[in-house]
Structure formats: structure tokens, C-alpha cells
Amino acid sequence: MAEEKVVDIEELGKPIKDVDYGIVNKIVLQLLSELDMINTRAEFDKFVNRMRKQHKIQFSYPQILYCYRNYCKANNIDIDDRVVSLVQKKSNRSASGVMIVTVFTAPYPNGQAFSCEYDCYYCPKEPNQPRSYLMKEPGVLRANRMKFDCVGQFRDRCRAYYFMGHPIDKIEMIVLGGTWSSYPKDYRDDFIRDIYYAANTFYDENFTTSPRDKLTLKEEQTINQTAQCHIIGLGLETRPDRINVREMREFRKYGVTKVLIGVQSVFDKYLIRVNRRCNKSHTIKAIKQLKEAGFKVQCHIMFDLPQPLKDGVDPKKPQFEIDDIDTSVNVAEDDRKMIDIITTDPRFNFDEIKLYPTMTTDYTRIKDEYDRGVYKPYGEAKIDEDGKMTDILFDNIMYFMQVVPPYMRADRIIRDIPVGDYVYAGTKRGNMGQDIHDTLRKNNIKCMDIRYREIKKNDVDPITAVMKERIFDGSGGKEYFLSFETEDEKYIFGFLRLRLSPDAGYTSEKHTDVAFPELVGCAMIRELHVYGHTVKVGTKTDGAKQHFGFGKRLVNRSFEIAIENGFAKISVISGIGVMNYYRKFGFEIEGLNNYMIKNLL
């Protein structure tokens, strides 16, 4: 059982309503005495209601957890994960095995007047917010509350998770905001350094009164390798046309493991229409360059973009009229074609995808076009005379979920924009992602999306897992997707992405320029993910974890495949905070870019 550190509630600074903690402490002791008879959340809810009536007191689940943690600390005993799982709120947040923490960069970095030098017509530019984001989006609200301070955002989010009962030890960081490359370099360097500093000091009991000084990025990264709060992955958001050798080397200096790029469409006519200023060829090149450097690639796709321009219309016109638009184009049909391309074309083998149907909001050019009848989205659900709803956009996304390959993860369906506050046109189904999943389950439709199949809290014995190997072409290389799944492929326990490519480390197939010399000739592990700590079904007496070694078995199988294919060494793009895990397999840092290499022969 992993030991969880307990810190004083005052140090974490989480406001908790006044309650008689003496009574709550007694309730905790009662809970421990009855623990073997409480096996489900429903049974725990009944226990809580009984205690509230018996003691005539109202208390929250976080208050129970707080008292329980302090009880364990005072008695020098390990925390029982059964108690935490019973009390835990929003349990799916950590069911994937890591906690995802998103922070936002500032709208005016170091006084600079912009956070993105581009002007895509669908992209909101709300004053005092980073470009493309709106103040009332949940994460952006938090960033504003913290004045876009990276450390403040991290601590605020992790405090909330901690008091919900989630472990704050393995963190995947996602940095959002404007276009990353548009920010001043000193701001970028400091922001990333502050991520590691925030993690390293999260459990520092003196932080609120006398926080230690920030060290250099390299020093904070070194500390994080052995810190209690590890940064196990780091993702940055940028554009396909900003991917180059300099950028990728900077990413690796930061410890970036995943790059999020806004693809939006695979058809240039739509990219031109919305003033994207990059095209399909940039996307194809960016995906290949990132994969040859070992990165995990997440791409963002927009459905329901405005109809393209007629031939001969100047895309730089200050204002489009309806006569400029090729109204013969069926955008919904093109979106269906795009789905077929991104799920079958080897040049578009995304590892992860976010589906962002266009939502017309304030502070955008397309809102003006919508008001004037120039932009007519198809994504608005319609009710016919019989009261039946038709939603072509919903149908398109349902189609995607039925053809998505088993190695792709749909990280999000629809932007987290408060519909009532901002959305004027386009889809207004803010819960579309949940609706999609509910429809799949209700109709027993098979879906191979990784996120849909994650084991989470499902009562499936991991001993039933079998290793599956899927091989496919991707951006000029051979990709192996190794996974542990149930035999029927309904649930996935963990997976590994292995890339075998003659172009590893190079900038192109010509092999004239080397981006990362340490990767040349390497098989590359681009991702390893095991979904949480698996607990054997029926284990309840001592709460002990039954480790099935999925990660170790996946890594060892990747060694075998690399050797079978003639590779003498293998690399892994490790998060800074998980490097010691890979050292157990014989990996060591080689070169100047934080890659870990293992000789196989």
C-alpha cells in the first residue's frame, strides 16, 4: 500500500466550514470499526446518514477524510486506500492512474500586448484573457483568480483534488493559453520552472509562511525526480507550423512529453476560410517530426467550420459577404470524409484527439458573419413537426466513435465553454461527450476509443487481462500498440506505444539534418500508461494492492520487439518525475535533451 503524506489543513489553505471536529473524529473511529462491513459507496452513504442523525451534526466527506488523515498521522499508520476510495469525490478524476492539472499562461506575458500573433476567425479574443479562451470557462476562472500565476494555479487545483481524496503524487501537466511560441522566451522558461517548483513544494509545511526560493529549471527538475509530487508528463499547446528543431529541443529541455497541435481541418479550403495561416502539409510534417522525436501527439479537430470561399475570392477581405461563400459545399459531408481520413490515413495517426465542434461566441469574427447570415452552422439540433430531434453533428461524432482505431484516445468531445454565457450559434449541447458515451452504452455499440475503454472503477478482475499487439503504419514508421485488455476488448488496463522508424532523430526522410543524435538508430517508447493501481476483485480485508506488473511486462515486450527488428538500443521520452522508474530497466539519460536510452545488445 502506498504511503500518503498528511499535511496540516492550514498549510494547504483549503477553507473548510466550521464543524465540531471532536465529533467527526469519533465518527472516524466508528467508521474504522465497521469498515469490513462497508464495501460500496452506497453502504458508506448510509453510514454517513446514520452518523449525521445519531450525532445531530452536518459534516462533509472532505471533513471525514481530513480527520482520518490526521488520525493516521498521529498514530503513525499507513492510510487505508479503502477509506479514501469510499470518501473520494469525482473518483474518475484519478481513475486513469494520474491526476491531470491544467494551468493557463497569461494574456499579457511580461507586458507583451498579445498571447497569440495570429487571428483565426473562430477564435475568441476576450479582453484580459489568453487568446482563444473565455473567462468563464472553469479552468480560466481559476487562472484569473490566481492572476495567472503558475504556482498559485497548481496549488489551488491540487488542494481541491487533495480534499476530494485524490492522491497528489503523479501529475500530468497541461499548459494552455495562447500560442506557446508567441510568448517571450524568458516567460516560457520561468513558467515551466514554476511548474516543477510548485510540485516540489506542494507538501512543504512551511510554504505558506516561508516558501523557499525558486531554483533554476534544471535544479527543480532534479529535485522532482525524487519529490513526493512527481511531474510524470508535460503537454504544451501550439500550432503545426511552429514545430521545428529549435522548438522541439526547447520542449525536451522543459521535459515535455506530449505536444497538442491545433489541426482544425485536413482540408485547406476550410483553413483558408478561417484565416488559419497554416495548411494540411504543415500538419503532416509536424506529426512526423514530433513522432521521430518520440513525442506523443494530440491533435484538435473542428467540425462545423464555415463553408469555404468561392474560387477567386480574396481570403484577406476585411469582411465576407454571402456572395463570397461557396454555399454548394456540404460541410457535414466533408466532416464525415475528414473522420475517414484521420482514422485511416497513416499521415494522420494521432495518438490523442480533441473534437471541438465550432461554437460561435462573442469576441469572434464568425459571430459577425453569423449575425449577417454569412455563416450558417449545421450543428444546431432541430426539432421536426413530430417532435423528433435531428442532430447531424451528434451523428457525425457518433460515427467517429464507431470507427476510431483502438490506439487513439478521444481526450475530449466539445469545448468546456459555458453555453448559456457565451454560445450564440452552433451546437449548444455542452454535455455532448456524456451524451455520446451514454448512447454508445445504451445501444451496446462497440467503440474502441481508449478513453471509453479505460478500466476506471469497473469491477473487472485484472487477472483476466491478455496482452494484445497491434501494428500499423504511421508517418513513415512502424507503430506497435501493446496493451493489456480483456479478451473481448471492452476494457483496457494499460498500454505502450513503440515506434520503429529509420528516421528516428532526423528532421526528414533525407537524413541530412539530425535533430536529436541520441535517437538515431533507436526504437522509441513514446508512451507507457497503466490505469491506476489495480485491485484484485474480492480484496477487501486489508486493502492491499495486487500489482500485476502490466507496466513491466509491456516494457520488456517492447525490448523483445526492438531486438527482433534489428535495433540495438531503445529510447523512452520520460517525464522528469518518473525517470527513476525507467532506470530500473537500465535506461539512463544520454545527450542533452533528457532522453533516456538503453542498450539492448
Average pLDDT over residues 251-275: 98
Q: Is the CB of residue 534 less than 8 Å from the CB of residue 98?
A: no
Q: In what order do the strands lie in the sheet with 596-599?
A: 466-474, 477-485, 492-500, 522-530, 569-572, 596-599, 588-589
Residue 291 confidence (pLDDT): 98
HSE, CB side, 13 Å, CA atoms: give it for residue 196: 30
What average pLDDT is seen over the chain? Answer: 91
List, as one string, the DSSP characters of 30-56: HHHHHGGG--SHHHHHHHHHHHHHHHT
Angle CA 286–433–165, to nearest 5 = 95
Percentage, residues of the chain above pLDDT 90: 75
What is the three-class DSSP state of 104?
strand
As a whole number of angstroms, the distance between CA 7 and CA 79 comes to 13
**Structure confidence by residue, pLDDT tens digits, 461-489:** 889 999 999 999 999 999 999 999 999 99
276-331 pLDDT, tens digit per residue, is: 999 999 999 999 999 999 999 999 999 999 999 999 999 999 999 999 999 999 99
Give the span between the Cα atoms of 375 and 145, in whole angstroms: 35
pTM: 0.90
Residue 220 in contact with residue 200, Cβ under 8 Å? Answer: yes
Per-residue pLDDT tens over the stretch 179-203 = 899 999 999 999 999 999 999 999 9
pLDDT recorded at residue 17: 61
CA distance 251 to 246: 9
220-256 tens-digit pLDDT: 999 999 999 999 999 999 999 999 999 999 999 999 9
What are 107's three cell numbers? 494574456
Q: What is the DSSP letter of 98?
A: S
| Helix 21-34 × helix 41-55 angle, to 10° | 140
The residue ranking higher by pLDDT, 585 or 390, is 585
Who's near 465: CB < 8 A, 6+ residues apart? 484, 485, 486, 493, 548, 550
> How does DSSP assign 425-450, residue by residue?
EE---TTHHHHHHHHHHHTT-----H
Q: What is the DSSP string of 518-557?
A: GGTTEEEEEEEEE-S----TT--SS-------HHHHHHHH
Burial of 293 (0-12, 13-18, 19+ CB in 10 A): buried
Contacts 24+ apart (CB under 8 A), 411-414: 411/298, 411/352, 411/353, 411/354, 411/451, 412/354, 412/355, 412/356, 413/354, 413/355, 414/355, 414/356, 414/357, 414/359
Q: Three-state SS for 5?
A: coil
Amino acid letter, residue 197? Y
- Single out the residue of 502, 480, 491 nearest to residue 554, CA to CA: 480
pLDDT band at 62 (very low <50, low <70, confident <90, very high): confident
Strands 352-355, 296-301: pairing is parallel
Which residues, in sequence order, are bridge partners of residue 523?
A: 570
Domains and CATH numbers, the chain: 9-87 (no CATH), 89-236 (no CATH), 239-453 (3.30.750.200), 462-599 (3.40.630.30)
Mean pLDDT calculated for residue range 1-17: 48
Structural contact between residues 559 and 570, judged by C-beta atoms closer than 8 angstroms: yes
Instruction: Provide mean pLDDT across the span 31-45.
Output: 90
Q: What is the pLDDT of residue 356?
A: 95
- Using one digit for the tens of pLDDT, what is the confidence trace for 89-111? 665 555 566 899 999 999 998 88
Cβ atoms of 193 and 221 closer than 8 Å: no
In this predicted structure, the answer to whether residue 534 has a pLDDT above a threshold of 70 is no
Helix (H, G, I), strand (E, B) or coil at 220: helix
* Total Cβ atoms within 10 A of residue 51: 19
Q: How far is CA 329 from CA 146, 305, 334, 355, 455, in A?
A: 45, 11, 8, 21, 41
pLDDT at 65: 87
CB 389 within 8 Å of CB 381 = yes
Longest dimension (CA), the chain: 78
Strand bridging mode 596-599 / 588-589: antiparallel
d(CA 408, CA 410): 7
Q: In the prediction, which pLDDT does 10 show? A: 45
**DSSP state, residue 322:** G
Backbone phi, psi, residue 247, to 5°: -65, -45
